[in-house]
Amino acid sequence: MVKLPEIIESHRPKISPETDYSTLSNYKDFKVENSNLNIELLFNEQKIIGNVTYQLLALNSIQKITLDSSFIKINKINVNNTLAQYQINERVEPLGSSLDITYEAPRESSLELSIDFETTKDSTAIQWLKTETSTTDSSDYVFTQLEPIHARSLFPCFDTPSVKSTFNAIIKSKHPVVFSGLPISKDSSDIYEFEQRIPIPSYLIAIASGNITSAKAGPRSTIYAEPNRLQDSINEFEQDLEKFIKIAEDIVTPYIWSTYDILINPASFPYGGMENPNITFVTPTLISYDKSQVDVIAHELAHSWSGNNVTNASWEHFWLNEGWTVYLERRITGALHGEAFRQFSFIQGWNDLINSIEALPKFEYSKLVQDLQKGKIDPDDTFSSVPYEKGSNFIYHLETKLGGLKEFDPFIKFYFTKFQQKSLDTYQFIDSLYEFYGNDQSKIDILNNIDWELWLYTPGLPPKADFDTTLVDNVSSLVSKWISKATEFKEIEEFKEFFTKGEPKSLYDGFSSPQKILFIDSLLESQPSSDFWLNNSKASDSLLEIYPDLQDSKNTEIIFRWFKLKLLSGKSQYYNDLSKWLGTVGRMKYVRPSYKLLNRVDRELAIETFKKYQSFYHPIAANLVKQDLGL
């Protein structure tokens, strides 16, 4: 280990990787050799019941085994086939109830810990729902979402990304089941078996079951979806999957997970995507009928390296997962669409970063390395674009400073090989930079001159790179025309005359989907004052009329932004449309800001809408919206 610049050394923890305080378990006392889940999904009772068995090796002499749990009932615990005493401790927010199992054992002993448990209605990890798979039919469905700290609400575990284990799963269900591992051929009709031979942390476990059908979507890929969405999903993703995997293998290392599948969840799925190993879970809102949201798939696929293989050791270092993943996502889509496209994506991401820093509940949360205050702060509360955008900008900054792709690419391979199947913190990442470039004094000088303090520990925007604006310039040009004409023209006819002909028209007609998204964002951002479109009502009316393709878009990235424009322009005739739309999407990226907007213009409608759809939303999403609305 080389000595790093003073500012980093002054933050470096005594132990490496840094302790994860978002777990109550005594995970450092054990190595988990294997985990075995044997459970049954009970749709009528909305609970999961069964057993989890751990093969443990004690790394120290121990008095007890402490696991994480949250809203879980324990029925029986055995250690080495003997009944064990246990105690569920009182809840500590936000971490849940630790589970103490009394057992004395010397260092290096092997233990088999077997726990019979069941989940409860309060589990934050599971959503049970009825979905409409056709107009006449409704069907049971269940899915889990465990990142960051909800695994403990599905089964008792060492719920920390610092602990990895191989898994076996036997899942009984009356409906087809998918799992974050490889399926094993089945003999009985309602028993589904899987195995995950690569050690993974608990947050990457995922289960879904329902009327799930599937079709092949590439040599290594299958798409799973309810029947009414299967064909659309195949059309949307099939062409890109194998291309993405090959490009990523080229940039990083060979794909180790064998298969890369996708499950299209029902609309209440609270994220765009979740990188569950072997089977990425996504929201159906990615189906936009023009492949304009495949970047989310590139993102989740990239997690197969950053996150799932090389993992952040605690949620304070979450940027190592997401920043690296956004960086790789843009390398993948950039390889397909060109460097100008990659640069464009960074500029779009920069706008997201500005917006999300503004929306943060605390400015402190905009640091790259988070301070979760020894477990007191819930990682769900600090979630934002910061680890994604500041993180990927940081990697990009290193790429450019160190001499561009030719100099940086070998480091990518080095880093992802060095830390494969491991969990690490920011210090180990920086150590590895110094290690890799250690023989080259000019590179070490460059590293010594990086403003680590600013990037890692200072809240707010980092320095902005000098991105290539080729794909942005046309957008900016049309936006400035709108801003200047908005105050000049008085009648809709004047706007139409100007914007539906000649240069303004040909500019717009040349926009790709990502450019249209930037167009709306820029209209909303580069306005001279926050009530610009409200004060220039004829201009906003004209916008809505002149671009019917934005009005009719099936791309939720556009739908959401178009609503934003309508509401900020005070067009009350659209409030009800937004309210209705909020009953069809559960992705938090749209739901939370939409409620905040609606609340601003019509609080009564916001509350009425939330009450109506509360049970449709995922429990985590519902909770956050409740907080956002101050209910």
> CB of 226 within 8 A of CB of 133?
yes
Looking at residue 26, what DSSP letter applies?
-
Closest CA to 298 of 319, 317, 273, 323: 273
Among 589, 594, 599, 606, binds ligand BES (CB under 6 A): 589
Q: Considering the rule CB under 6 A, would residue 271 count as an interface residue with ligand BES? A: yes
| For Zn ion, the closer CB: 193 or 322 | 322
Task: Please check if 146 is assigned to a binding site.
Answer: yes
| For ligand BES, the closer CB: 271 or 415 | 271
**177 CB-near residues (< 8 Å, 6+ apart):** 41, 171, 192, 207, 208, 209, 212
CA pair distance 48, 235, nearest whole angstrom: 34
CA distance to 16, 360, 435, 465, per residue, from 396 (Å) = 25, 24, 19, 9
If contact means CB under 5 to 8 A according to the sort of partner, which of ligand BES, Zn ion, none does residue 540 touch? Answer: none
Q: Provide the minimum distance between the beta carbon of 387 and ligand BES in the complex, in angstroms, as a whole number.
A: 9
Site for ligand BES, residues 65 to 104, rule: CB under 6 A: none
**183 CB-near residues (< 8 Å, 6+ apart):** 192, 193, 194
Tell me which residue has tokens 């059309």.
Answer: 235
Task: Please check if 589 is assigned to a binding site.
Answer: yes
Tokens of residue 312, six digits: 């952040």
Coarse DSSP helix, strand, coil percentages of the chain, rounded to the nearest 5 percent: 45, 20, 35
Tokens of residue 211, six digits: 């009327």
Q: Are strands 273-274 and 279-282 parallel, antiparallel or unpaired?
A: antiparallel
Q: Provide the minimum distance between the beta carbon of 493 and ligand BES in the complex, in angstroms, as a whole number.
A: 41
Residue number of the CB closest to ligand BES reads 272
Task: Please check if 588 is assigned to a binding site.
Answer: yes
H/E element holding 238? helix 227-251
Per annotation, catalytic residue among 27, 327, 388, 508: 388
Mark 596-625 with x for binding to ligand BES (rule: CB under 6 A) and - for no binding: ------------------------------
DSSP 572-603: GGGHHHHHHHTTT---HHHHHHHHHHHHHH-H
Task: Please check if 271 is assigned to a binding site.
Answer: yes
Active site residue 300: yes
| For ligand BES, the closer CB: 29 or 147 | 147
Chain centroid to CA 615: how far? 22
| For Zn ion, the closer CB: 111 or 286 | 286
H/E element holding 548? helix 548-551
Site for ligand BES, residues 172 to 191, rule: CB under 6 A: none
CA pair distance 118, 126, nearest whole angstrom: 12
Choose one: 46-54, 299-307, 397-405, 544-552; the region binding ligand BES (CB under 6 A): 299-307
Tokens of residue 375, six digits: 């477990």
Q: Provide the minimum distance between the beta carbon of 589 and ligand BES in the complex, in angstroms, as a whole number.
A: 5
CA pair distance 381, 390, nearest whole angstrom: 18
> CB of 384 within 8 A of CB of 334?
no
Q: Considering the rule CB under 5 A, would residue 162 count as an interface residue with Zn ion? A: no
The full length of the chain comes to 631
Choose one: 132-140, 294-302, 502-510, 593-601; the region binding ligand BES (CB under 6 A): 294-302
Per annotation, catalytic residue among 18, 118, 226, 300: 300
Q: Considering the rule CB under 6 A, would residue 388 count as an interface residue with ligand BES? A: yes
Q: Alpha-carbon torsion 170, 176, 179, 181, what sign?
A: positive
CA distance to 92, 181, 248, per residue, from 188 (Å) = 42, 19, 38
| For ligand BES, the closer CB: 42 or 558 | 558
Choose one: 214-222, 228-236, 298-306, 343-351; the region binding ligand BES (CB under 6 A): 298-306
Task: Please check if 587 is assigned to a binding site.
Answer: yes
Tokens of residue 589, six digits: 């990226």
Q: Considering the rule CB under 5 A, would residue 325 count as an interface residue with Zn ion? A: yes
Site for Zn ion, residues 564 to 593, rule: CB under 5 A: none
DSSP-derived 3-state class of residue 37: strand
Q: Provide the minimum distance between the beta carbon of 277 and ligand BES in the complex, in angstroms, as a whole number.
A: 12
If contact means CB under 5 to 8 A according to the sort of partner, which of ligand BES, Zn ion, none does residue 148 touch? Answer: ligand BES
Q: Considering the rule CB under 6 A, would residue 303 count as an interface residue with ligand BES? A: yes
Task: Please check if 274 is assigned to a binding site.
Answer: yes
Among 68, 275, 399, 602, binds ligand BES (CB under 6 A): 275
Task: Please check if 90 is assigned to a binding site.
Answer: no
Q: Detail the residues annotated as belonging to a binding site for Zn(2+).
A: 299, 303, 322
Residues near ligand BES (CB under 6 A) are 147-148, 271-275, 296, 299-300, 303, 322, 383, 388, 589
Residues near Zn ion (CB under 5 A) are 322, 325
Q: Detail the residues annotated as belonging to a binding site for a peptide.
A: 145-147, 270-275, 587-589
Q: Detail the residues annotated as belonging to a binding site.
A: 145-147, 270-275, 299, 303, 322, 587-589
**Catalytic residue numbers, as ranges:** 300, 388
